């Protein structure tokens, strides 16, 4: 009889089953409302996000609707859980659904901002365990057990609970920093009052401010006393002075370049053997894309200390010199007129300033000229302009009967073998 009574006590009462059924119906209703929120609010929010933010936070854009779905379900389930003193079975059902929705929300958020999978899975496990344990009233035993597992390092004690808290805070701050940096970059990029150089500088300063704020906020959340690092401040200062002097120098040089505006994105520059247009001014180096499609990373400090040719510093017009040699026996004025015509007919050559032809010298094989043509898009290359003008000139010379000069040498024979040198 005792065993039968114990079994009867373990069987849920009718009131508990009714409460469990009501909780299940409310859970299904909350999930259904989450689906409706995804279709109505989520679609509009995703469209607004793509229009306003674009590709700056590209991972979140296709996940916005799903995040709203699970997030709305979490809020509704939390409201259902709070408005009624549910029994153990009903609370467990609501807590499980709420934990699952919260885990899916965290998963979509972290994967949307590019958090590594292993870190995302750990945080999701912590979120599910925390929400479900809180719902069934078992969170305190778990935290007590995790806090009991630890070791003492010096004057501080490191427990498994503290390590989990550090991991969750660091991952959350990483996600927040990535979203904040990309949203700030998008806002600054669309600011009409700033030119491109000022936008790049503002984006870099804003990124540094966000990282510093997140670092200080994380230190405050973790309860770390910064005075503990006072002993290492001297060594860190020496490390910055000796080991990171190039990095700090490139950082400062990059900021000076952006403030000075002597080199800005879109400029066509030549540094040593590197020639191309500036694609990006980074913290460490300037990205220069050549006509071959290669990307040269030139340290910012080199641009401050070396001679740099900026073809578009104050004016984007660039003069192209095209050397041409014609034979001495041709009509020089007619050849020069054809040179001007070939330059004017080239599509990239500007009408103003107008092209010109100079006679630069009398060479050993022909009269040497230079066609001076102006272009306004040096980032598209210079060699193709020369090729186009010379191709047109070749056809015009051929139609006009003007040949190409070739090397000529006159040989004077003073005597033949077996002939007297005095004989004429």
Rounded Cα distance, 316 and 320, in Å = 13
Q: Provide the mean pLDDT of the chain.
A: 78
What confidence tens digit (pLDDT) does each residue in 92-117 have? Answer: 888 888 888 888 888 888 777 777 77
- In this structure, is residue 224 part of a structural domain? no
Angle at which helices 230-242 and 245-260 cross, to 10° = 70
- In this structure, is residue 38 part of a structural domain? yes
Rounded Cα distance, 72 and 34, in Å = 5
CATH code for position 281 = 2.30.30.60
What confidence tens digit (pLDDT) does each residue in 20-57 have? Answer: 788 888 888 888 888 888 888 877 887 777 766 655 45
- Cα 298 to Cα 46, 275, 306, 308, 313: the distances in Å are 39, 11, 11, 11, 18
Are 39 and 130 in a shared domain? yes
Rounded Cα distance, 365 and 358, in Å = 17
Are 293 and 371 in a shared domain? no
- In this structure, is residue 237 part of a structural domain? no
CATH code for position 336 = 3.30.70.100
Rounded Cα distance, 307 and 274, in Å = 12
pLDDT score for 294: 83
Whether the per-residue pLDDT at 356 is higher than 80: the answer is: yes
* Residue keyed to tokens 């998008």: 186
Are 30 and 68 in a shared domain? yes
Residue in 53, 18, 11 with CA at minimum distance from that of residue 63: 53
- In this structure, is residue 28 part of a structural domain? yes
Whether the per-residue pLDDT at 399 is higher than 60: the answer is: yes
Are 104 and 21 in a shared domain? yes
Whether the per-residue pLDDT at 383 is higher than 80: the answer is: yes
Last residue of a domain, one of 274, 293, 310: 310
Rounded Cα distance, 35 and 24, in Å = 17
- In this structure, is residue 158 part of a structural domain? no
Rounded Cα distance, 224 and 74, in Å = 32
Rounded Cα distance, 420 and 424, in Å = 9
Are 273 and 371 in a shared domain? no
Rounded Cα distance, 5 and 385, in Å = 99
Most confident listed range (181-195, 308-322, 366-380):
366-380
CA dihedral 53, 55, 59, 64 (to 10 degrees): 30
Over pLDDT 70: what percentage of the chain? 79
Are 38 and 123 in a shared domain? yes
Domain count, the chain: 3
Q: What is the 3-state secondary structure (H, E, C) of 24-53?
A: HHHHHHHHHHHHHHHHHHHHHHHHHHHHHC
Rounded Cα distance, 164 and 173, in Å = 14
- In this structure, is residue 192 part of a structural domain? no
Are 276 and 332 in a shared domain? no
Are 255 and 139 in a shared domain? no
Are 296 and 390 in a shared domain? no
Last residue of a domain, one of 146, 163, 198: 146
Q: What is the mean pLDDT of residues 220-236?
A: 63
- In this structure, is residue 412 part of a structural domain? no
User: What single-letter DSSP state applies at residue 355?
Assistant: P
Most confident listed range (144-148, 158-162, 184-188):
184-188
- In this structure, is residue 65 part of a structural domain? yes
Q: Identify the domain containing residue 286 by its residue range.
A: 247-310
Rounded Cα distance, 43 and 49, in Å = 10
Residue in 336, 326, 409 with CA at minimum distance from that of residue 366: 326
State the number of CA atoms in the 13 A half-sphere of 374 facing the CB: 12
Last residue of a domain, one of 113, 146, 179: 146
Which parts of 58-195 fold into alpha helices (H)? 64-82, 88-112, 117-135, 139-148, 160-189
pLDDT score for 134: 76
């Amino acid at each position: 009889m005792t065993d039968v009574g114990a079994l009867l006590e373990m069987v849920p009462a009718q009131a508990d089953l009714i409460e469990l059924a009501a909780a299940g119906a409310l859970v299904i209703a909350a999930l259904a409302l989450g689906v409706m929120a995804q279709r109505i609010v989520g679609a509009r929010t995703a469209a607004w996000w793509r229009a306003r933010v674009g590709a700056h936070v590209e991972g979140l854009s296709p996940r916005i609707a799903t995040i709203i779905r699970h997030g709305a379900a979490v809020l509704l389930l939390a409201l259902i859980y709070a408005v009624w003193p549910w029994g153990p079975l009903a609370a467990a059902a609501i807590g499980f659904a709420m934990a699952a929705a919260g885990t899916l929300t965290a998963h979509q958020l972290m994967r949307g901002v590019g958090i590594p999978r292993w870190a995302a899975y750990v945080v999701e496990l912590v979120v599910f365990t925390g929400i479900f344990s809180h719902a069934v009233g078992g969170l305190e035993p778990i935290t007590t057990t995790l806090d009991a597992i630890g070791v003492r390092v010096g004057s501080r004690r490191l427990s498994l609970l503290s390590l989990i808290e550090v991991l969750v805070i660091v991952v959350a701050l990483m996600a927040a920093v990535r979203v904040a940096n990309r949203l700030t970059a998008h806002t600054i990029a669309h600011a009409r009052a700033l030119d491109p150089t000022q936008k790049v500088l503002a984006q870099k300063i804003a990124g540094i401010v966000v990282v510093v704020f997140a670092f200080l906020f994380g230190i405050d959340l973790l309860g770390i006393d910064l005075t503990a690092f006072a002993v290492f401040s001297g060594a860190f200062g020496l490390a910055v002075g000796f080991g990171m002097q190039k990095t700090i120098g490139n950082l400062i040089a990059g900021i000076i370049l952006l403030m000075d505006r002597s080199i800005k994105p879109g400029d066509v520059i030549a540094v040593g053997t590197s020639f191309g247009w500036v694609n990006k001014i980074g913290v460490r180096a300037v990205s220069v894309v050549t006509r071959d499609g290669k990307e040269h990373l030139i340290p910012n400090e080199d641009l401050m200390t070396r001679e740099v040719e900026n073809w578009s510093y104050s004016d984007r017009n660039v003069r192209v010199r095209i050397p041409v040699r014609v034979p001495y026996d041709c009509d020089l004025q007619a050849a020069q007129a054809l040179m001007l015509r070939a330059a004017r007919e080239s599509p990239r050559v500007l009408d103003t300033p107008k092209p010109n032809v100079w006679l630069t010298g009398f060479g050993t094989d022909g009269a040497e000229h230079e066609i001076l043509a102006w272009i306004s898009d040096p980032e598209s290359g210079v060699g193709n302009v020369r090729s186009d003008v010379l191709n047109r000139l070749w056809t015009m010379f051929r139609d006009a009967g003007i040949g190409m000069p070739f090397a000529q040498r006159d040989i004077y024979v003073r005597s033949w073998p077996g002939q007297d040198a005095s004989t004429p």
